């Protein structure tokens, strides 16, 4: 018997992957894009520290699958972001990795050609190019940190990170978050449990040491300082919403008990809208009303939005895809997005500055 009979029995191949350093050299960060990232992160930290009165909104497609439609959306969002910038800080939702309960398309990085060819090497470069283009517009980007290696390739282009409901309880993701350069929103568990998110924020705020890779792609012991900008994202759970005043109050109490700042983001999608995109505007309106009535803990919201409403299955013939329509979760369309953001800005323009007084 040899080690060949013991190791990697279920591994079909080890295909080469360019190092983060190689990808960065091929697709370098421009000064404009770097400025967008730095200013976006600083603005988000100031909101979380209550130095900036604005509400931040992470808004965009459930996932990126078509970079042309994605940039069409980004250009529209940039114009709208400038229009409401006195009241809302707009961060474009740029999600490349999709966690799956069983099976399904895992996202633009994992399978960029949507044909089960799984060209992760190409997907990583395409994702980086897309993020550079978005940041070049002056629009900061937010994403879900799912694969613990991806931040080495893309982290310099991200202003805000989310840890999803399926991974908030994961030690790997808590350790990774402790070293991320962005503020991190931890979603409550899929069952609605707030405690796992509070524990995740506490864990990520402290230093950790764990296995990872460095910029040269070599295995390294990553030693982190801890991330003090963790916050909770309420996304509902077990098919029930948790954005109502009672749920928000309970989240506030849980964070105070954990000696954490009561910074809460409400996800208008997922269980909070029963996965019905047409209900997202109602969730947003409710959150805006809570702020108008005196809430001081909700610092941000999330919206799943695309050019076209709803979603679509991935056809065998990709030319049949509807332009600007999600292939993952259903989204509100552009017109609804404009109305949601403009209405929120109008109703909160005179209210948000009072929260700092």
- pTM equals 0.96
Give pLDDT, residue 356: 87
Residue 77 and residue 90 in contact, taking contact as beta carbons nearer than 8 Å: yes
| pLDDT for residue 102 is more than 70 | no
Radius of gyration in angstroms for the set of CA atoms belonging to the chain, rounded to a whole number: 20
- pLDDT class of 98 with cuts at 50, 70, 90: confident
Q: Which H or E run includes 209?
A: strand 209-213
- pLDDT class of 34 with cuts at 50, 70, 90: very high
As a whole number, mean pLDDT of residues 66-72 equals 98
Residue 87 and residue 331 in contact, taking contact as beta carbons nearer than 8 Å: no
Give pLDDT, residue 146: 92
Give pLDDT, residue 357: 83
Query: pLDDT digit string (tens) for 245-259?
Result: 999 999 999 999 999
Side-chain-facing half-sphere of 60: CA atoms under 13 Å: 30
For residue 141, which of 155, 123, 120, 152 has the smallest C-alpha distance? Answer: 155
CATH number of 26-45+54-356: 3.20.20.70
- pLDDT class of 99 with cuts at 50, 70, 90: confident
As a whole number, mean pLDDT of residues 133-162 equals 97
Query: pLDDT digit string (tens) for 103-122?
Result: 688 899 999 999 999 999 99
As a whole number, mean pLDDT of residues 272-299 equals 98
Residue 92 and residue 77 in contact, taking contact as beta carbons nearer than 8 Å: yes
Q: Among 73-82, 90-99, 118-127, 338-347, name the one with the lowest average pLDDT.
A: 90-99
Tokens of 145: 């940190």
Tokens of 96: 């490349």
For residue 24, which of 141, 128, 112 has the smallest C-alpha distance? Answer: 128
**Helix/strand/coil for 178:** coil
Residue 222 and residue 210 in contact, taking contact as beta carbons nearer than 8 Å: yes
- pLDDT class of 3 with cuts at 50, 70, 90: low
In 218-290, DSSP assigns E strands to 219-223, 230-234, 264-267
CA–CA dist 312, 329 (Å, integer): 9
Opening angle at CA 331, ends 165 and 142, nearest 5: 55
Q: How many CB atoms lie within 10 A of CB 106?
A: 19
Q: Would you give the distance in Å from CA 56 to the centre of its chain?
A: 12
As a whole number, mean pLDDT of residues 177-205 equals 97
CA–CA dist 243, 194 (Å, integer): 12
Long-range (24+ apart) CB contacts under 8 A made by 126-129 are: 126/67, 127/64, 127/96, 127/153, 127/154, 128/23, 128/27, 128/153, 128/154, 128/157, 129/27, 129/67
DSSP state of 308: S
Q: Would you give the distance in Å from CA 280 to the centre of its chain?
A: 17
User: What is the residue whose two structure tokens read 């809208």?
Assistant: 273
Give pLDDT, residue 13: 93
Give pLDDT, residue 287: 98
Query: Could you tell me whether strands 160-163 and 141-144 are parallel, antiparallel, or unpaired per DSSP bridges?
Result: parallel
As a whole number, mean pLDDT of residues 60-68 equals 97
């Amino acid at each position: 018997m040899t080690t060949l009979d013991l190791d990697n029995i279920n591994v079909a191949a080890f295909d080469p992957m360019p190092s983060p350093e190689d990808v960065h050299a091929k697709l370098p960060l421009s000064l404009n894009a770097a400025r967008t990232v730095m200013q976006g992160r600083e603005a988000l930290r100031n909101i979380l520290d209550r130095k900036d009165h604005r509400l931040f909104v992470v808004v965009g497609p459930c996932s990126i699958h078509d970079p042309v439609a994605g940039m069409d959306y980004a250009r529209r969002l940039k114009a709208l972001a400038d229009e409401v910038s006195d009241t809302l800080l707009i961060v474009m939702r740029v999600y490349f990795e999709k966690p799956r309960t069983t099976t399904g398309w895992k996202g633009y990085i994992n399978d960029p050609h949507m044909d089960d060819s799984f060209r992760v090497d190409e997907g990583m470069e395409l994702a980086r190019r897309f993020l550079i283009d978005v940041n070049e517009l002056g629009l900061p980007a937010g994403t879900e940190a799912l694969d613990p290696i991806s931040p080495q390739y893309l982290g310099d282009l991200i202003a805000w990170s989310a840890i999803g409901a399926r991974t908030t309880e994961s030690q790997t993701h808590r350790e990774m978050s402790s070293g991320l350069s962005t503020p991190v929103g931890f979603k409550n568990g899929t069952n609605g449990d707030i405690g796992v998110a509070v524990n995740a924020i506490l864990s990520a705020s402290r230093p950790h040491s764990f296995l990872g890779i460095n910029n040269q792609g070599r295995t390294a012991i990553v030693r982190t300082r801890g991330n003090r900008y963790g916050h909770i994202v309420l996304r509902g759970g077990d098919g029930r919403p948790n954005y109502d005043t009672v749920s928000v109050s309970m989240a506030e109490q849980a964070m105070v008990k954990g000696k954490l700042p009561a910074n809460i983001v409400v996800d208008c999608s997922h269980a909070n809208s029963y996965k019905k995109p047409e209900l997202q505007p109602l969730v947003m309106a409710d959150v805006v009303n809570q702020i108008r009535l005196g809430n001081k803990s909700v610092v941000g919201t999330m919206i799943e939005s695309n050019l076209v409403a709803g979603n679509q299955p991935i056809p065998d013939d990709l030319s049949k895809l509807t332009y600007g329509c999600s292939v993952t979760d259903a989204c509100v369309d552009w017109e609804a997005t404009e109305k949601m953001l403009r209405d929120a800005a109008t109703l909160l323009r005179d209210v948000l500055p009072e929260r700092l007084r």
